[in-house]
């Protein structure tokens, strides 16, 4: 018996990309995600950009970020959480 793959949109790819890259999606959601990638070159490019960003940011240590910038980032994230 064949299983039908549910189609997802580009917006859903954007929303699910982190979970996909972390291997946190269910097998069904992974299949839907990968099915979309097989059909959408733009989303393939987007996922690759996110992979490269994660790799680049992963090389930055806390000591590499000046304290003033770190404080500004923390404040920005706190403000963002309040508005969501």
pLDDT above 60 for 2:
no
**What is the structure's pLDDT at 62?**
79
**What is the structure's pLDDT at 78?**
87
Residue showing tokens 């959480």: 81
**What is the structure's pLDDT at 1?**
43
- Poorest-confidence range of 5-19, 52-66, 70-84? 70-84
All domains of the chain in start order, with CATH: 10-83 (1.10.10)
Q: What angle do CA 54, 56, 58 make, to 5 degrees?
A: 65
pLDDT above 80 for 82:
no
Could you read off the pLDDT of 14-53 as tens digits, one per residue? 999 999 999 999 999 999 999 999 999 999 999 999 999 9
User: What does 20-79 look like in DSSP terms, one character per residue?
Assistant: HHTT-S-HHHHHHHHHHHHH-HHHHHHHHHHHHHHHHHTT--GGGS-HHHHHHHHHHHHH
């Amino acid at each position: 018996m064949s299983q039908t793959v549910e189609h997802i949109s580009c917006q859903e790819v954007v929303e699910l990309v982190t979970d996909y890259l972390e291997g946190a999606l269910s097998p069904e959601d992974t299949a839907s995600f990968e099915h979309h990638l097989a059909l959408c070159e733009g989303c393939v490019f987007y996922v690759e950009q996110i992979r490269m960003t994660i790799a680049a940011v992963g090389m930055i240590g806390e000591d590499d970020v000046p304290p003033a910038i770190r404080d500004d980032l923390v404040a920005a994230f706190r403000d963002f959480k309040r508005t969501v």
